[in-house]
Amino acid sequence: MVKFLDLQKITALYSDEINRAIERTTNGGWFLNGVEVQLFEKEYAHYIGTNRCVSCANGLDALWLIFRAYIELGRLKPGDEVIVPANTFIATVLAISENGLIPVFAEPDGNSLQISLSAVKSVMTPKTKAICIVHLYGRCAFTPELADFCKTSGLLMVEDNAQAHGCRYGNSKTGSLGDAAGHSFYPGKILGALGDGGAVTTNDNELADVIRALANYGSEKKYYCGFKGKNSRLDEIQAAVLRIKLKSLENDIAARKRVAQFYVDNITNPKVTLPGKELLTDHVYHLFPVLCAERDRLQKYLFENGVETVIHYPVPPHKQICYQEYNSISLPVTERLAAQELSLPMSPVLTEAEMNKVVECVNSFE
């Protein structure tokens, strides 16, 4: 079976270094808010190209903390609308709604699968105060047109960079392009920990300070709380692991791009579309999505022939039971993507034989 993602194999590449780091941390007896976290934040901010990085417990928290901090700073208020691509993972939307802000769904472009300026304009109202762009699947969603529009309309631009560590727009990295960005280090991500982890990157010192406090029970000074915060921490062992894996991130991305190029060059089945394959936008291939009108049959066929795949995502946020208030909205592009998307095996450790098998199986689907 070609695994969708072989985390055992990926982790084994670093096992000596990771074991040494765990031993060092364990022997040091200091497990939270220590030197590994400080160093990771410094190194990750440097990698992304921002002044600040504040680590936290996961990617949802990172986004939640950004929106909550904007509310605490008076730059957003409950009831404000935040435009979000309709085809994102639920966490992007939860971070908005769970702060009393109103998510407003914009249809993605059916080829790039990213939010477009025209879609943003079509859902814009006087209550719109921010846009959350999502670098979904690893493809850069930033455009200078969107940035100009945000600037001239006085909108904040938040980036959901959970899936696109290392992705670039020109010489800049995603995570440094908007006003603030949320990152996830969930194990399956391009930069993944051995458990949960997350971070916010920003050049806004005031925002970073509030986020730091919010992630620490709302407290800047121990036992004195200026905000009603939460406990959201990256621990020392995860920070140490991320520091190790950060050093290989560029190589990992290059390997992912090689896999993607192989798929692009060799998948020829007319029943299977490779969305945006001709686009020049940088793509770091957290995932390799294909579209197929008979997606479920294709998935079954691949599985029966030894290729594991995953659907990202079968139910879009506006059709989830938890968002009944949006269930009646019709978003045909998003709903078509949810019905047709299938993610092929993608990772830096796929072998040539595995890639060949994936291509052969996709091409032999009738």
Ligand X SMILES: Cc1ncc(COP(=O)(O)O)c(C=O)c1O
CB of 65 to ligand X, least distance (A): 12
Between residues 81 and 160, which has the closer beta carbon with respect to ligand X? Answer: 160
Nearest CB to ligand X, comparing residues 194 and 361: 194
State the nearest-atom distance from the C-beta of 62 to ligand X, in Å: 7
Tokens coding 227? 């905000």
- Closer residue to ligand X, CB minimum distance, 95 or 362: 95
Using the CB atoms, write b or e for 29-51: b if 16+ within 10 Å.
eeeeebebbeebbebbbebbbbe
Write out the two tokens for 137: 């699947």
Q: How far is the CB of 23 from ligand X (least distance, A)?
A: 26
Neighbours of 211 (CB within 10 A): 29
CA contacts within 13 A on the Cβ side of 192 = 20
| Least Cβ distance, residue 257 to ligand X (angstroms) | 20
Which residue matches tokens 């846009």? 131
**DSSP code per residue over 6-22:** -HHHHHHTTHHHHHHHH
Q: What is the DSSP letter of 88?
A: S
Instruction: Please identify, using beta-carbon distances, which residue of 346 and 362 lies nearer to ligand X.
Output: 346
277 φ, ψ to 5°? Answer: -65, -25
Q: Which is closer to ligand X, CB of 198 or CB of 289?
A: 198
Judged by beta carbon, residue 90 or residue 102, the one nearer ligand X is 90
CA–CA dist 175, 275 (Å, integer): 23
β-pair partners for 216: 231
Which residue's beta carbon is nearest to the bound ligand X?
59
**What tokens does 309 get?**
């795949």
**What 3-state DSSP class applies to 329?**
coil
Residue 100 CB, nearest approach to ligand X (Å):
19
Contact 36, 55 (CB under 8 A): no
Rounded Cα distance, 201 and 213, in Å: 15
Kindly list the residues in this chain that would bind ligand X in the complex (CB under 6 A): 58-60, 88-89, 91-92, 134, 160, 162-163, 184, 186, 196, 198
**DSSP β-bridge partners for residue 172:** 169
Q: Which amino acid is at 223?
A: Y
Q: What are residue 288's DSSP bridge partners?
A: 344
- Nearest distance, CB of residue 209 and ligand X, angstroms: 23
User: Smallest distance from the beta carbon of 24 to ligand X, in angstroms?
Assistant: 25
Closer residue to ligand X, CB minimum distance, 107 or 354: 107
CB of 158 to ligand X, least distance (A): 11
Phi, psi of 180 (to 5 degrees): -165, 155
Q: Between 88 and 201, name the residue whose CB sits nearer to ligand X.
A: 88
Which residue number, 88 or 99, has a Cβ lying nearer to ligand X? Answer: 88
Q: Please, what's the largest Cα pairwise distance for the chain? A: 65
State in angstroms the smallest separation of the CB of 134 from ligand X.
Answer: 5
